[in-house]
Chain A
Amino acid sequence: MTDDDLAMPPFAPPPLGAELETELGGIKPVAMRKPLRQLAVLLGASLIYGAGMIALLSTRPDMSELPVMWMVGGAIAWALGFMVPLYLAVMPVEGSMMPRRRLAAGAAITAAVLFVVMGMLIHPSGPSSLQYGTERFLHGHPCLELGLATALVPVILGAVFLRGALPVGARWIAAALGAGGGSLGGLVLHFHCRITDPMHTGLIHGGVVTVAALLAALLVPRATDVR
């Protein structure tokens, strides 16, 4: 058997159906997707929202007691965790209209794992910091809720922008949106929360990324799908 053996004559397709004809009768111009502009709006609106959250909640009282390098390095890491997955989820390769789902998936998984591990390993504290430990671990749940609330804006905006653009691989792109949003939540917590034990910073602050990515992967494809 060769490829030529498999060559088949073209099939004659049916004419346009009545429903399509009806929809075409009322056709109107639509604004095409502009990924770069969408990315700028997504990042800008999310950052403003995140900054608003910090302003509303107040900054952590132990901030001046912590190493500057750690505060700055942590903020950069969270910011990268926020921007890179969102960039990969929204921006397609030149000439294509579908986002880079494999890279986006990789970024989502990396962020989801990395922030948990980093939070467990690196967690400096000062005299004003709090330690919940394993006994009061569950008392830290407001941080998870706050982080997820912060993730809402990038996830919802991303879902709106990508509506119809993800016939396949929607879950991975959604996970990237969730990971990006969760990282913004982590950034807000980095400046707000003074609980510094490894369980809290790893499993709750880092866990925001994981939970947001999972929830987005579960829910967002329903919103981006066109029926």
Chain B
Amino acid sequence: MADPKELMARYCDGDASAFRELYAAVSPRLYGYLVKMSRSRALADDLLQQTFLKVHRARAAYVRGADPLPWIYSIAHRTFIDEVRKGKRAKVNVGDGDDLPEIAADIGGNALDATDEPRVDSELLASTLDALAGLPEQQREAVVLTKLEGKSVAEAAEIAGTSVGAMKVRAHRGYEALRKLLGGRTKEKAA
């Protein structure tokens, strides 16, 4: 992957192809973050486009040599929060299977497009996403950023506009709540 700093600088210098490269490099994870937060692919599609439109319109705020990723994630975070506040579409949609990520699988149930990725139990994946939807918004974001997006607590705090301590507490509480939710569902299934 090309260096986002270099891509961002080229993009600010007027190189549209650098923006496309940046989009290709950043959008998969950012889109994943938005899907996990919004629990709707349609909404995440819209939020991703809004996020990059804002990035485009605010690109003059870029400081040469700085890492643009926390800033881009913060814009995505803010865009999601604004959407939730609008209360239009950002509802938690637990039971709708259409919005769950579909993973192509072979006859043995193995994901076809993720041979290099960690093997994921599709039921656990669905359960995890459902359980995530049951968490309060701030805890969900903390778990998504620190556990699913692989951000450090400091990075997650910067993205969410909160302190490191608060992010630690949210992540811990969210993780514990998620563990209980998933544990409960596993027991239900076993019964």
Chain A residues with CB under 8 Å of chain B are 1, 3-14, 16-17, 19-20, 23-25, 27-35, 92, 95-98, 101-102, 162-165, 167-169, 226-227
Residue of B nearest to A15 (CB): B23
- Main secondary structure on chain A at its contact with chain B? loop
| 16 other A-B residue contacts (CB within 8 Å) besides A17-B49, A96-B63 | A6-B148, A7-B120, A9-B111, A9-B114, A11-B28, A11-B35, A20-B49, A23-B53, A32-B63, A92-B63, A98-B70, A163-B58, A164-B60, A164-B61, A165-B58, A165-B71
| 22 pairs of residues in contact across A and B, judged by CB atoms under 8 Å | A1-B179, A5-B124, A5-B128, A7-B117, A9-B103, A9-B111, A10-B29, A13-B28, A13-B48, A16-B20, A17-B49, A20-B49, A23-B53, A24-B16, A30-B12, A30-B14, A30-B60, A32-B9, A32-B60, A95-B67, A96-B70, A168-B158
Chain B residues with CB under 8 Å of chain A are 9, 12-16, 19-20, 23, 27-32, 35-36, 44-45, 48-49, 52-54, 56-68, 70-71, 74-75, 77-78, 101, 103, 111, 113-114, 117-118, 120-121, 124-125, 128, 143, 147-148, 158-161, 163, 178-179, 182-183
Of the candidates A6, A31, A96, A168, the one whose C-beta lies within 8 Å of that of B161 is: A168
CB distance from A83 to the nearest CB of B (A): 20
CB distance from A185 to the nearest CB of B (A): 27
- Main secondary structure on chain B at its contact with chain A? helix
Contact present for B182 and A14 (CB under 8 Å)? no
Contact present for B63 and A97 (CB under 8 Å)? yes
**In the complex, how many residue pairs between chain A and chain B have their CB atoms under 8 Å apart?**
157
CB distance from B14 to the nearest CB of A (A): 4
Of the candidates A1, A29, A34, the one whose C-beta lies within 8 Å of that of B178 is: A1
A163–B54 alpha-carbon span in the complex (Å): 11
Q: A30 contacts which chain B residues (CB < 8 A)? A: 12, 14, 59-60
Q: A33 contacts which chain B residues (CB < 8 A)? A: 60-63
Contact present for A97 and B68 (CB under 8 Å)? yes
Question: Given A6-B128, A11-B32, A29-B14, is A19 in contact with B58 using a C-beta cutoff of 8 Å?
Answer: no
CB distance from A122 to the nearest CB of B (A): 33
Residue of A nearest to B114 (CB): A9
Residue of B nearest to A165 (CB): B61
Contact present for A164 and B113 (CB under 8 Å)? no
Q: B64 contacts which chain A residues (CB < 8 A)? A: 32
Question: Given A96-B66, A97-B68, A163-B58, is A4 in contact with B32 using a C-beta cutoff of 8 Å?
Answer: no
Contact present for A20 and B53 (CB under 8 Å)? yes
A165–B23 alpha-carbon span in the complex (Å): 19
Contact present for B28 and A7 (CB under 8 Å)? no
Q: Which 9 A-B pairs have the closest CB atoms?
A: A164-B58, A168-B161, A164-B61, A29-B14, A13-B31, A97-B66, A165-B61, A13-B27, A167-B74
Question: Given A13-B48, A163-B61, is A19 in contact with B53 using a C-beta cutoff of 8 Å?
Answer: yes
A1–B131 alpha-carbon span in the complex (Å): 13
Contact present for A6 and B147 (CB under 8 Å)? yes
A167–B69 alpha-carbon span in the complex (Å): 12
Residue of A nearest to B32 (CB): A11
CB distance from A8 to the nearest CB of B (A): 6
Contact present for A10 and B28 (CB under 8 Å)? yes
Of the candidates A10, A24, A102, the one whose C-beta lies within 8 Å of that of B32 is: A10
Q: A162 contacts which chain B residues (CB < 8 A)? A: 61
Q: A19 contacts which chain B residues (CB < 8 A)? A: 49, 53
Q: A27 contacts which chain B residues (CB < 8 A)? A: 14-16, 19
Question: Given A8-B120, A169-B161, is A14 in contact with B48 using a C-beta cutoff of 8 Å?
Answer: yes
A16–B12 alpha-carbon span in the complex (Å): 18
Q: B30 contacts which chain A residues (CB < 8 A)? A: 13
Q: B183 contacts which chain A residues (CB < 8 A)? A: 1
A77–B70 alpha-carbon span in the complex (Å): 35
